């Protein structure tokens, strides 16, 4: 069998060593690491993957698209897919800045406690995604919306939240999304306060070291059965949640911190790399990574 070659297409000047180490641990034999990759620059690199091996051996070449600029990585991912034709293709995984694996792991964690797989029950569920405009938050919101959850996308800027809701709604027809301004001093009766009070699930996907929900906000979110904070850098994104919390019972809620979700994220990442080499036509974005996470 041909050796497993993973081609890293990274938008940053130096391709991510994190992604390289995970790839080797997941079974890649050879890494071809490219930095500063733009959509145009990706095309000849993809041709090199397409036109070298043939038949079953094509499945032993795969592409990982990463980098810290998520929008730039998405543009590369789109171009990579458009470069393929017919059966002449290799499998591709998109996980810039760990956004897809992290968002999938958060939804897997939520699904351990909420009936995300039951259409009738899920239709009654409501979630608030704090920091919902960032790469991770947008994907958490998209994955939950696709499940049928009503999702409030919270941001410090209503227009940014509205843009995210519009983008997800066009990708997920029939989804229920509501934008809200996340005020630091939460005022009773605002859409944000109402969304917190009605939420079954709260996911904090704010920037590292930013607190998005303090004690008063947590009190307001009294109905929430699951709270997940993806920020690992002190202070916590949700006050009172430790980064190491993993399915920690706090009153009527279960809480997870970033490290509590991180183990699942790593498992999804490794399993996704392995899945790349199972065929030559896998396209792994957030939805496919969630399916992998749910099957672990
Ligand atoms: N566990 C893991 O393996 C893992 C992997 C990747 C990321 N993460 C963590 O996941 C979280 C989300 O990552 P990301 O890359 O999506 O984050 P990000 O882009 O840095 O920030 C997400 C959102 O947070 C809001 N924000 C920024 N600064 C803020 C502040 N000072 N106060 C309140 N809100 C602020 C912004 O929304 P608005 O401006 O619209 O309000 C921004 O869009 C981060 O904490 C990151 O460290 C964890």
Rounded-to-integer distance, Cα 50 and Cα 47, Å: 5
pLDDT given for residue 1 in this prediction: 79
Taking residue 176's Cβ as centre, other Cβ atoms within 10 Å add up to: 16
Ligand 1 probe mutation, 206, 208, 244, 261, most atoms within 8 A of CB = 206
pLDDT given for residue 188 in this prediction: 87
Beta carbon of 160 within 6 Å of any ligand 1 atom: yes
pLDDT given for residue 186 in this prediction: 86
Beta carbon of 212 within 6 Å of any ligand 1 atom: yes
Token pair recorded at residue 35? 């930095």
The alpha carbon of 115 and the centre of ligand 1 are apart by a number of angstroms equal to 27
Q: Which residues 6+ apart lie within 8 Å of 251 measured at CB?
A: none
pLDDT given for residue 65 in this prediction: 98
Please state the atom number of ligand 1 nearest to the C-alpha of residue 99.
Answer: 6
pLDDT given for residue 185 in this prediction: 83
pLDDT given for residue 183 in this prediction: 83
Beta carbon of 132 within 6 Å of any ligand 1 atom: no
The alpha carbon of 245 and the centre of ligand 1 are apart by a number of angstroms equal to 19
The alpha carbon of 231 and the centre of ligand 1 are apart by a number of angstroms equal to 7
For 211-274, the three-class secondary structure string (H helix, E strand, C coil) is CCECHHHHHHCCCCCEEEECCCCCCCCECCCCCCCCCEEECCEEEECHHHHHHHHHHHHHHHHH
150, β-bridge pairs: 126
Angle, vertex CA 82, rays to CA 29 and CA 137, nearest 5 = 75
The alpha carbon of 188 and the centre of ligand 1 are apart by a number of angstroms equal to 25
Placement of tokens 């180490």 in the chain = 21
Please state the atom number of ligand 1 nearest to the C-alpha of residue 184.
Answer: 33
Which residue's alpha carbon is nearest to atom 12 within ligand 1? 205
Please state the atom number of ligand 1 nearest to the C-alpha of residue 136.
Answer: 16
**Max Cα-Cα span within the chain:** 63
**Measured distance between the N- and C-terminal CA atoms of the chain, rounded to whole angstroms:** 26
Beta carbon of 97 within 6 Å of any ligand 1 atom: yes
pLDDT given for residue 187 in this prediction: 87
The alpha carbon of 103 and the centre of ligand 1 are apart by a number of angstroms equal to 12
Q: Phi, psi at residue 168, to the nearest 5°?
A: -70, -40
pLDDT along the chain (296 residues), means of 10: 96 98 98 98 98 94 96 97 96 97 98 96 97 96 98 98 96 97 88 97 97 94 97 97 97 97 98 98 98 97
* Structural domains in the chain plus CATH codes: 5-94 (3.40.50.10280), 99-262 (3.40.50.720)
Rounded-to-integer distance, Cα 136 and Cα 133, Å: 8
262-284 pLDDT tens trace: 999 999 999 999 999 999 999 99
Beta carbon of 61 within 6 Å of any ligand 1 atom: no
């Amino acid at each position: 069998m041909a050796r497993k070659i993973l081609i890293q297409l990274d938008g940053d000047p130096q391709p991510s060593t994190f992604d390289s180490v995970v790839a080797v641990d997941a079974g890649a034999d050879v890494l071809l690491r490219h930095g500063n990759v733009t959509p145009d620059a990706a095309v000849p690199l993809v041709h090199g993957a397409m036109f070298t091996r043939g038949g079953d051996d094509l499945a032993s070449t795969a592409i990982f698209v990463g980098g810290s600029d998520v929008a730039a990585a998405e543009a590369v991912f789109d171009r990579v897919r458009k470069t393929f034709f017919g059966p002449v293709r290799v499998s591709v995984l998109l996980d810039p800045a760990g956004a897809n694996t992290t968002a999938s792991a958060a939804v897997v964690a939520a699904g351990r406690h909420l009936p995300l797989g039951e259409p009738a029950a899920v239709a009654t569920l409501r979630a608030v995604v704090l920091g919902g405009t960032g790469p991770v938050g947008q994907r958490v919101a998209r994955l939950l919306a696709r499940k049928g959850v009503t999702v409030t996308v919270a941001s410090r800027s209503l227009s940014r939240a509205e843009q995210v809701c519009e983008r997800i709604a066009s990708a997920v027809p029939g989804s229920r999304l509501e934008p809200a301004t996340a005020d630091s001093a939460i005022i009773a009766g605002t859409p944000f306060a109402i969304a917190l009070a009605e939420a079954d699930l709260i996911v904090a996907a704010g920037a590292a070291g930013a607190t998005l929900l303090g004690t008063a906000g947590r009190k307001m979110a009294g109905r929430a059965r699951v709270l997940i904070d993806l920020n690992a850098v002190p202070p916590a994104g949700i006050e009172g949640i430790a980064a190491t919390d993993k399915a920690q019972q706090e009153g009527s809620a279960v809480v997870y911190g970033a490290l509590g979700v991180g183990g699942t994220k790593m498992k999804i990442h490794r399993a996704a790399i392995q899945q790349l080499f199972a065929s030559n036509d896998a396209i792994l974005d957030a939805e496919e990574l969630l399916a992998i996470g749910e099957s672990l």
